[in-house]
Chains A and B, each alone.
Chain A
Amino acid sequence: DVKVTQSSRYLVKRTGEKVFLECVQDMDHENMFWYRQDPGLGLRLIYFSYDVKMKEKGDIPEGYSVSREKKERFSLILESASTNQTSMYLCASSFPQGTEAFFGQGTRLTVV
């Protein structure tokens, strides 16, 4: 079974804090993705990576950065958390063919 694991289910952080969201996959997938889900807006792509140390901006990269030092791990960094970054964050991984992506359980981040 494919497993994508996000380090936290729920997080509460203060405005201005640096926040790290971690994601690990065990299927040797080349591609990894970070999305955020907000009511009425669906899933929006923040960043993705198709190889170690490679990263590409998605549709809403502002205020975020990512790190991929190992193939199985993809981290999302909120440089200075703000209240408008309160959201459900979803990590996914896939092979490069575009046929199916597997998601983690999500991290509900609240910035106060």
Chain B
Amino acid sequence: DQQVKQNSPSLSVQEGRISILNCDYTNSMFDYFLWYKKYPAEGPTFLISISSIKDKNEDGRFTVFLNKSAKHLSLHIVPSQPGDSAVYFCAASALGSGTYKYIFGTGTRLKVLA
């Protein structure tokens, strides 16, 4: 049962344009949503997060939007740069067994074309 879903395995965008990565979830008890970026043969690095009580969080070129009624979040990257080419994972944190654990989606591979 996939609680966090990224339905687009890949996305290609021209340099300078907007990249929009999407994520859907099923559990309304998630408290935080996070985006991670991963290069091949490296560990994921944290990009940006949003609390479940907010609907938008912005950090430089990265903005995350949360639509709780639709159980949907998206990551916007503006403007996209070639160095943004990586796999992006959406994650959600849920309280269970005495602490928070992180549940990840399957990832979206972003390719930014120069």
Instruction: Report how many residues on chain A are interfacial, defined by Cβ distance under 8 Å.
Output: 31
Q: How far, in whole Å, are A101 and B98 apart by their CA atoms in the complex?
A: 16
Could you tell me the dominant secondary structure of chain A's interface residues?
Answer: strand
The complex places the Cα of A32 from the Cα of B71 at a distance, in Å, of: 27
- How many Å from the CB of A40 to the closest CB on chain B? 6
Q: Do residues B89 and A42 form an inter-chain contact, with CB atoms below 8 A? A: yes
| Bound CA span A12–B99, Å | 34
Interface of B, helix, strand, loop or mixed by DSSP: strand
Number of interface residues of B (CB under 8 A): 29
Name the interface residues of A1-52: CB closer than 8 Å to any CB of B: 4, 9, 30-31, 33, 35, 40-45, 48, 50
Chain A residues whose C-beta falls within 8 Å of the C-beta of B82 in the assembled complex: none
| Contact yes or no, A96 B44, CB < 8 A | no
The answer to whether A102 has its CB under 8 Å from any CB of chain B is yes
* Binary per-residue interface labels of chain B (85-112) against chain A in the complex, 1 for a CB within 8 Å, 0 otherwise: 0000101011101111111111100000
Given A31-B100, A45-B101, A99-B93, A106 contacting B46 (CB threshold 8 A): no
Partner of B99 from A96, A104, A108 at Cβ < 8 Å: A96
Which chain B residues lie closer than 8 Å to A56 at the CB level? Answer: 97-98, 101
**Smallest beta-carbon distance A4→chain B, Å:** 7
* Contact residues of A between 60 and 110, Cβ < 8 Å to B: 90, 92, 94, 96-106, 108
Q: Which residues of A contact B (CB under 8 A)?
A: 4, 9, 30-31, 33, 35, 40-45, 48, 50, 56, 58, 90, 92, 94, 96-106, 108
